[in-house]
Amino acid sequence: MIERKPRLLAIANEVTKGGYPVDVGTDHGYLPAYLVKQGIVSRALAADIGEGPLLAAKQHIEALSLSDRIELRLCDGLTGIDLSDKTDIIIAGLGGETIAEILLRRHPLSQTLLLQPMTKVETLRRFLLEHGYRIEKEIPAYEEKKAYTIIKARYDGVIRKGDALFFTFGALPQSEKKEKYLYFQSLLSRLEKKQKGLQKAQTQERTELDRLAILIAKAKEYLQEEIYDHHSGNL
Ligand SMILES: C[S@@+](CC[C@H](N)C(=O)[O-])C[C@H]1O[C@@H](n2cnc3c(N)ncnc32)[C@H](O)[C@@H]1O
Protein backbone atom coordinates (compact mmCIF):
# COMPACT_ATOMS: atom_id res chain seq x y z
CA MET A 1 0.00 0.00 0.00
CA ILE A 2 1.66 3.13 1.31
CA GLU A 3 5.04 1.37 1.18
CA ARG A 4 4.88 1.86 -2.58
CA LYS A 5 3.89 5.52 -2.26
CA PRO A 6 6.98 7.61 -1.44
CA ARG A 7 4.81 10.74 -1.60
CA LEU A 8 2.61 9.59 1.28
CA LEU A 9 5.59 8.17 3.20
CA ALA A 10 7.31 11.55 2.98
CA ILE A 11 4.18 13.18 4.46
CA ALA A 12 3.98 10.54 7.21
CA ASN A 13 7.55 11.43 8.24
CA GLU A 14 6.50 15.01 8.94
CA VAL A 15 3.34 14.36 10.97
CA THR A 16 3.51 15.40 14.64
CA LYS A 17 4.45 12.32 16.68
CA GLY A 18 1.64 11.43 19.06
CA GLY A 19 -0.57 14.03 17.37
CA TYR A 20 -4.10 13.91 16.02
CA PRO A 21 -4.09 14.60 12.27
CA VAL A 22 -6.90 15.20 9.80
CA ASP A 23 -6.40 13.79 6.32
CA VAL A 24 -8.57 15.75 3.89
CA GLY A 25 -9.28 13.90 0.63
CA THR A 26 -8.16 10.63 2.21
CA ASP A 27 -9.54 8.45 -0.61
CA HIS A 28 -8.42 4.88 0.26
CA GLY A 29 -7.39 5.97 3.77
CA TYR A 30 -3.86 4.58 3.39
CA LEU A 31 -2.15 7.50 5.11
CA PRO A 32 -4.17 7.65 8.37
CA ALA A 33 -4.12 3.85 8.55
CA TYR A 34 -0.34 3.83 8.20
CA LEU A 35 0.11 6.59 10.79
CA VAL A 36 -1.92 4.73 13.40
CA LYS A 37 -0.59 1.28 12.52
CA GLN A 38 2.99 2.48 12.86
CA GLY A 39 2.24 4.13 16.19
CA ILE A 40 3.19 7.58 14.86
CA VAL A 41 -0.19 8.79 16.13
CA SER A 42 -2.81 7.02 18.23
CA ARG A 43 -5.84 8.45 16.41
CA ALA A 44 -6.71 10.25 13.19
CA LEU A 45 -9.63 11.66 11.24
CA ALA A 46 -10.03 10.63 7.61
CA ALA A 47 -12.26 12.93 5.55
CA ASP A 48 -13.44 12.86 1.95
CA ILE A 49 -16.09 14.56 -0.14
CA GLY A 50 -16.90 11.36 -2.04
CA GLU A 51 -18.97 8.46 -0.73
CA GLY A 52 -17.03 5.95 -2.87
CA PRO A 53 -13.58 6.94 -1.58
CA LEU A 54 -14.85 7.04 1.99
CA LEU A 55 -16.28 3.53 1.62
CA ALA A 56 -12.89 2.34 0.34
CA ALA A 57 -11.25 3.98 3.36
CA LYS A 58 -13.79 2.32 5.69
CA GLN A 59 -13.04 -1.11 4.24
CA HIS A 60 -9.28 -0.58 4.45
CA ILE A 61 -9.46 0.68 8.03
CA GLU A 62 -11.79 -2.13 9.11
CA ALA A 63 -9.53 -4.73 7.50
CA LEU A 64 -6.70 -3.44 9.70
CA SER A 65 -8.95 -3.34 12.80
CA LEU A 66 -8.34 0.39 13.22
CA SER A 67 -11.98 1.58 13.21
CA ASP A 68 -11.88 2.55 16.88
CA ARG A 69 -8.94 4.87 16.27
CA ILE A 70 -9.72 6.42 12.90
CA GLU A 71 -12.90 8.44 12.50
CA LEU A 72 -14.36 8.74 9.01
CA ARG A 73 -16.09 11.91 7.87
CA LEU A 74 -18.01 12.67 4.67
CA CYS A 75 -17.51 16.39 4.11
CA ASP A 76 -16.20 19.09 1.82
CA GLY A 77 -12.73 20.15 2.96
CA LEU A 78 -12.69 20.88 6.69
CA THR A 79 -16.40 21.73 6.89
CA GLY A 80 -17.85 20.85 10.29
CA ILE A 81 -14.63 19.33 11.62
CA ASP A 82 -13.72 20.22 15.21
CA LEU A 83 -10.14 21.40 14.87
CA SER A 84 -9.55 22.29 18.51
CA ASP A 85 -7.76 19.00 19.29
CA LYS A 86 -6.15 18.42 15.88
CA THR A 87 -2.42 18.85 15.38
CA ASP A 88 -1.90 18.44 11.64
CA ILE A 89 -3.93 19.10 8.52
CA ILE A 90 -2.91 16.94 5.61
CA ILE A 91 -4.23 17.69 2.13
CA ALA A 92 -2.57 15.59 -0.56
CA GLY A 93 -3.40 14.83 -4.16
CA LEU A 94 -5.70 17.81 -4.77
CA GLY A 95 -5.12 20.86 -6.97
CA GLY A 96 -3.30 23.83 -5.44
CA GLU A 97 -6.28 26.14 -5.90
CA THR A 98 -8.66 23.69 -4.23
CA ILE A 99 -6.25 23.29 -1.30
CA ALA A 100 -6.06 27.10 -0.92
CA GLU A 101 -9.90 27.33 -0.97
CA ILE A 102 -10.19 24.63 1.71
CA LEU A 103 -7.68 26.45 3.94
CA LEU A 104 -9.27 29.85 3.36
CA ARG A 105 -12.66 28.66 4.60
CA ARG A 106 -11.16 27.98 8.07
CA HIS A 107 -8.53 30.72 8.06
CA PRO A 108 -6.37 31.10 10.13
CA LEU A 109 -5.35 27.55 11.00
CA SER A 110 -2.95 26.95 13.89
CA GLN A 111 -2.18 23.33 12.98
CA THR A 112 0.86 22.12 11.07
CA LEU A 113 -0.11 22.07 7.40
CA LEU A 114 1.19 19.28 5.18
CA LEU A 115 0.14 20.01 1.63
CA GLN A 116 0.91 18.14 -1.55
CA PRO A 117 -0.63 19.90 -4.55
CA MET A 118 -0.99 18.14 -7.90
CA THR A 119 -1.22 21.40 -9.86
CA LYS A 120 -0.92 25.17 -9.34
CA VAL A 121 1.86 24.85 -6.78
CA GLU A 122 2.80 28.51 -7.41
CA THR A 123 -0.75 29.64 -6.54
CA LEU A 124 -0.67 27.69 -3.29
CA ARG A 125 2.73 29.10 -2.24
CA ARG A 126 1.48 32.60 -2.95
CA PHE A 127 -1.70 31.97 -0.97
CA LEU A 128 0.27 30.73 2.05
CA LEU A 129 2.66 33.68 2.08
CA GLU A 130 -0.09 36.25 1.60
CA HIS A 131 -2.19 34.74 4.41
CA GLY A 132 0.47 34.68 7.09
CA TYR A 133 1.67 31.08 6.78
CA ARG A 134 5.40 30.45 6.94
CA ILE A 135 6.65 27.72 4.63
CA GLU A 136 8.98 25.86 7.00
CA LYS A 137 10.25 23.43 4.43
CA GLU A 138 9.44 21.50 1.31
CA ILE A 139 10.14 17.84 0.77
CA PRO A 140 10.47 16.55 -2.78
CA ALA A 141 9.03 13.13 -3.56
CA TYR A 142 9.13 11.00 -6.69
CA GLU A 143 6.31 8.56 -7.34
CA GLU A 144 5.36 6.69 -10.49
CA LYS A 145 7.69 8.77 -12.66
CA LYS A 146 6.32 12.07 -11.38
CA ALA A 147 7.93 14.64 -9.12
CA TYR A 148 5.99 16.26 -6.30
CA THR A 149 6.60 18.69 -3.50
CA ILE A 150 5.23 18.49 0.00
CA ILE A 151 4.84 21.87 1.64
CA LYS A 152 5.11 22.06 5.41
CA ALA A 153 3.71 25.35 6.65
CA ARG A 154 2.58 26.98 9.87
CA TYR A 155 0.61 30.13 10.61
CA ASP A 156 2.53 32.95 12.30
CA GLY A 157 0.46 35.88 11.02
CA VAL A 158 3.39 37.50 9.18
CA ILE A 159 2.41 38.46 5.64
CA ARG A 160 5.36 37.77 3.37
CA LYS A 161 5.98 39.16 -0.06
CA GLY A 162 7.23 36.44 -2.35
CA ASP A 163 8.66 36.81 -5.81
CA ALA A 164 8.40 34.76 -9.01
CA LEU A 165 11.46 32.72 -8.04
CA PHE A 166 9.99 31.75 -4.69
CA PHE A 167 6.56 31.00 -6.11
CA THR A 168 8.19 28.73 -8.71
CA PHE A 169 10.84 26.91 -6.65
CA GLY A 170 9.57 27.44 -3.12
CA ALA A 171 11.78 26.08 -0.37
CA LEU A 172 12.92 23.13 -2.50
CA PRO A 173 16.44 24.48 -3.21
CA GLN A 174 17.09 24.23 0.55
CA SER A 175 15.99 20.59 0.73
CA GLU A 176 18.64 17.97 1.40
CA LYS A 177 16.76 15.32 -0.54
CA LYS A 178 18.16 14.17 -3.85
CA GLU A 179 14.63 13.94 -5.31
CA LYS A 180 14.70 17.70 -5.74
CA TYR A 181 16.92 17.08 -8.78
CA LEU A 182 14.02 15.23 -10.45
CA TYR A 183 11.63 17.97 -9.41
CA PHE A 184 13.82 20.66 -11.02
CA GLN A 185 14.11 18.55 -14.17
CA SER A 186 10.35 18.27 -14.55
CA LEU A 187 9.93 21.95 -13.72
CA LEU A 188 12.52 22.87 -16.34
CA SER A 189 10.78 20.87 -19.06
CA ARG A 190 7.43 22.46 -18.12
CA LEU A 191 8.92 25.96 -18.30
CA GLU A 192 10.66 25.24 -21.61
CA LYS A 193 7.44 23.87 -23.08
CA LYS A 194 5.63 27.04 -22.06
CA GLN A 195 8.42 29.16 -23.55
CA LYS A 196 8.27 27.27 -26.87
CA GLY A 197 4.50 27.68 -26.99
CA LEU A 198 4.76 31.43 -26.51
CA GLN A 199 7.57 31.73 -29.06
CA LYS A 200 5.59 29.70 -31.60
CA ALA A 201 2.56 31.88 -31.11
CA GLN A 202 4.89 34.85 -31.75
CA THR A 203 3.37 36.46 -28.75
CA GLN A 204 3.96 40.07 -27.94
CA GLU A 205 4.10 39.12 -24.26
CA ARG A 206 7.70 40.17 -23.80
CA THR A 207 7.38 40.38 -20.04
CA GLU A 208 6.15 36.79 -19.81
CA LEU A 209 8.97 35.57 -22.07
CA ASP A 210 11.53 37.50 -20.03
CA ARG A 211 10.08 36.08 -16.83
CA LEU A 212 10.27 32.56 -18.25
CA ALA A 213 13.87 33.06 -19.38
CA ILE A 214 14.87 34.02 -15.82
CA LEU A 215 13.08 31.01 -14.33
CA ILE A 216 14.61 28.64 -16.90
CA ALA A 217 18.09 29.98 -16.17
CA LYS A 218 17.49 29.48 -12.45
CA ALA A 219 16.22 25.93 -12.94
CA LYS A 220 19.36 25.12 -14.96
CA GLU A 221 21.50 26.68 -12.28
CA TYR A 222 19.91 24.49 -9.59
CA LEU A 223 20.38 21.44 -11.81
CA GLN A 224 24.05 22.29 -12.33
CA GLU A 225 24.51 22.56 -8.56
CA GLU A 226 22.92 19.16 -8.18
CA ILE A 227 25.17 17.62 -10.84
CA TYR A 228 28.17 19.16 -9.13
CA ASP A 229 27.02 17.71 -5.79
CA HIS A 230 26.45 14.36 -7.46
CA HIS A 231 29.97 14.27 -8.93
CA SER A 232 31.51 15.28 -5.67
CA GLY A 233 29.74 12.34 -4.07
CA ASN A 234 27.34 14.34 -1.95
CA LEU A 235 24.22 12.67 -3.27
C1 LIG B 1 -6.38 11.95 -5.98
S2 LIG B 1 -7.19 11.57 -4.49
C3 LIG B 1 -5.88 11.75 -3.32
C4 LIG B 1 -5.89 10.67 -2.30
C5 LIG B 1 -4.78 10.75 -1.25
N6 LIG B 1 -4.92 11.94 -0.44
C7 LIG B 1 -3.42 10.71 -1.91
O8 LIG B 1 -2.75 11.75 -1.95
O9 LIG B 1 -3.02 9.64 -2.40
C10 LIG B 1 -8.18 12.98 -4.18
C11 LIG B 1 -9.30 12.73 -3.16
O12 LIG B 1 -9.75 14.00 -2.69
C13 LIG B 1 -11.14 13.99 -2.59
N14 LIG B 1 -11.60 15.39 -2.65
C15 LIG B 1 -11.64 16.21 -3.72
N16 LIG B 1 -12.09 17.43 -3.37
C17 LIG B 1 -12.33 17.37 -2.03
C18 LIG B 1 -12.83 18.29 -1.07
N19 LIG B 1 -13.18 19.53 -1.42
N20 LIG B 1 -12.95 17.89 0.21
C21 LIG B 1 -12.64 16.63 0.58
N22 LIG B 1 -12.16 15.70 -0.28
C23 LIG B 1 -12.01 16.07 -1.56
C24 LIG B 1 -11.60 13.10 -3.74
O25 LIG B 1 -12.89 12.56 -3.51
C26 LIG B 1 -10.50 12.02 -3.75
O27 LIG B 1 -10.84 10.92 -2.95
Per-residue pLDDT tens digits for 120-143: 999 999 999 999 999 999 999 999
Per-residue pLDDT at 215: 97
* Residue ID of nearest Cα to ligand 1 atom 3: 93
Instruction: Give the Å distance between the CA of 233 and the centre of ligand 1.
Output: 39
* Residue ID of nearest Cα to ligand 1 atom 15: 25
At residue 137, φ and ψ (nearest 5 deg) are -165, 165
Provide the whole-model pTM.
0.95
C-alpha separations of 234 from 137, 154, 176, 225 in Å: 20, 30, 10, 11
Q: How many CB atoms lie within 10 A of CB 58?
A: 15
pLDDT interval class at 204 (50, 70, 90): low
| Top mutation candidate among 27, 75, 78 for ligand 1, by most atoms within 8 Å of CB | 27
Q: Computed from CA positions of residues 68, 72, 77, 80, in that sequence, does the dihedral angle turn out positive or negative?
A: negative
Instruction: Give the Å distance between the CA of 116 and the centre of ligand 1.
Output: 11
Q: Which residues have C-beta atoms less than 6 Å from ligand 1? A: 8, 24-27, 47-50, 53, 76-77, 92-94, 98, 102
pLDDT interval class at 221 (50, 70, 90): very high
Q: Is 225 in contact with 232 (CB distance < 8 Å)?
A: no
Number of H helices and E strands in the chain, helices first, is: 8, 7
One DSSP character per residue, 117-132 reads ESS-HHHHHHHHHHTT
